[in-house]
Amino acid sequence: MANAPDLQFLAVGEGDDARNVAILARPGSGPAVVWLGGFRSDMRATKATALDDWAAEAGRAFVRFDYSGHGESGGEFTAGTISRWLEEALAVITAKTEGPAVLVGSSMGGWVALLAALRLKVERPDHAPAGLVLIAPAVDFTERLMWEALSEDARRELETTGAFLRPSLYGDPYPITRGLIEDGRKHLLLGGAIEPGCPVHILQGMEDPDVPWRHVLETVEHLPGEAVTLTLIKDGDHRLSRPEDIERLIAAVAAIA
């Protein structure tokens, strides 16, 4: 296992909205690979660490970070929104990479990666991604996989109190905030074509209870067909962290550029 780079912090936002985003950036050749983690995950989790080990061995630049309210970054989790986490992702990408990078997004990070690609190709074409590798991309999850799955009682509680504690398969219940749901509606992608402007490779487990593979097929339908590869893993779960899953992930990243 490679030694992790030194922990760095990047200031994002201003005034009361300022927060410090924790980053681990490994120098190396390009295109840099940037890890965009999932909802309630952190940059030292299995897949991100495995990619860092690969990058160290291959001499590739690799950047991973924690969204605010996650891992080693500042800020409160309950203040988190897609807008806020997207702002942090864009800040890290533009500050810590030189030119086009390969964005690797897991679960929520898949949605953030697509949003970042769409923004960068217009606002920072010098940083438009070289490619995307998406693991169980939870596109539009705040609406399609959260809000639409809530009972009427849960929706009422969220709208009345501002939050709802959602049970988790992976630990204690966690809060879904009204701010997260309402902000997510500003970033929905499944109502039209999604054109990130680069190749996309999606890895999806067919036994994923969190992001169903049929939801991901719908995402694929909105992406340009000539530049998209979908790998369905019949016995794969949501995390896709088994050794064979990690091998698939590394191969997909290495094949982009």
CA atoms within 13 A on the CB side of 200: 29
Residues designated catalytic: 107, 208, 238
Structure tokens at 254: 């290495």
Structure tokens at 15: 């005034």
Q: Are strands 29-36 and 102-106 parallel, antiparallel or unpaired?
A: parallel
Would you call 120 helix, strand, or coil by DSSP? helix
The whole-angstrom distance between residue 48's C-alpha and the CA centroid of its chain comes to 11
Cα–Cα distance measured from residue 37 to residue 105, given in angstroms and rounded to the nearest whole number? 6
* Residues 106, 38 contacting (CB under 8 angstroms): yes
Find the helix or strand (DSSP H, E) in which 171 lies: strand 171-177
- Measured from the Cβ of residue 8, the count of other Cβ atoms closer than 10 Å reads 16
